[in-house]
Amino acid sequence: TTRLVAEAIATHKKRLAGATVLDVGTGSGILALVALVLGAESAVGIDTDADAIGVAKANAKRNALSKRVRFSTTSVDELEDRYDLVLANIEADVLILLRDALRPRVARGGTLVLSGILDSRERDVVTAFGKPRARAAMGEWVALSYGP
């Protein structure tokens, strides 16, 4: 699923220059870091797991990206900013629960990429979020993109 999202980020490479990115469920921080390497100006990665945040910060430091990314255990519900690209690579049930918190985080003209979705749960996510602009699949996993 990480690969699916990384590929989705790459399809937006031309639009990443100067872009802000939010990575919800950041884990190791790899998706936020990929966005930065591909041209995003800054990124925020959040996760409920404090240990994951430590790993993400270490990965940012290791890749000399610490100045352009912030990682924290802040809940998506607590965020106020809007982002040009919002990534959420989390299982379907959590994505559906976070729908009303994720949507307001996407800036006007921005993109929301959802992944971590088993193909057997895709219909549930589409029911919650609506018809995606793009869909990618790898084996039993699906990623959905919303926005331009």
Average predicted confidence (pLDDT) for the chain: 95
pLDDT of res. 2: 83
Task: Say whether pLDDT at 1 is over 80.
Answer: no
Environment class of 36 (CB within 10 Å of its CB; exposed 0-12, middle 13-18, buried 19+): buried
Joined together, the tokens standing for residue 1 give: 């699923």
Query: pLDDT band for position 47 (50/70/90)?
Result: very high
Query: pLDDT band for position 49 (50/70/90)?
Result: very high
Task: Say whether pLDDT at 148 is over 80.
Answer: no
Q: pLDDT tens, 73-131? A: 999 999 999 999 999 999 999 999 999 999 999 999 999 999 999 999 999 999 999 99
Query: pLDDT band for position 58 (50/70/90)?
Result: very high
Secondary structure string (H, E, C) spanning the chain: CHHHHHHHHHHCHHHHCCCEEEEECCCCCHHHHHHHHCCCCEEEEECCCHHHHHHHHHHHHHCCCHHHEEEECCCHHHCCCCEEEEEEECCHHHHHHHHHHHHHHEEEEEEEEEEEEEHHHHHHHHHHHCCCCEEEEECCEEEEEECC
- Among 97, 101, 100, which residue's Cα sits nearest to residue 79? 101
